[in-house]
Structure 1
Amino acid sequence: MDMNRVKQIVSSPADIPVYYNGVSVWIDGYDEEKQTATVHLRDGRTGERRDVPVSELTEERDETNP
């Protein structure tokens, strides 16, 4: 994924599936300078947030990493 797409997803009212290492996440924010996004798991079990490289986010689940 690229930063422009991250911005579109964050500003969209739609529920757009995003994955990090095959795990469904919400994008909470982003840092253009660092090219990172702040994400948390969508399953709601933990409120843990982490900064991840935008390039490692996808809109398709990686079936090789269930």
Structure 2
Amino acid sequence: MNIHRAQEILAADEKIHVELNGLPVWIDSVDSGKATAKVHAEENPADSRVVTVQELEEVH
């Protein structure tokens, strides 16, 4: 995924499915300067981490 798409997903009103290594995640924030995103696992909101946006995959 690119930084622009990650920002669009973060701002979207509807739910857009995103995965990190095959696991569903929510994007909490995007740092465009570092090209990273803070995400948390859908099933475990306490499981948050910062990853590069390239690691994220939009699921259609």
TM-score for the superposition, normalised by structure 2? 0.91
Query: Percent identical across equivalent pairs?
Result: 38
Structure 2: 5+ residue stretches without partners: none
Q: Which 4+ residue blocks in structure 1 deviate beyond 4 angstroms?
A: none
Matches within 5 A, 1:22-61: 22-43=22-43, 45-60=44-59
Matches within 5 A, 1:6-21: 6-21=6-21
Q: Which residue of 2 aligns with 1:5?
A: 5
TM-score for the superposition, normalised by structure 1? 0.84
Q: How many residues align?
A: 60
The residue type equivalent to 1:58 in the other structure is E
1:46 CA drift (Å): 4.5
Alpha-carbon RMSD: 1.4
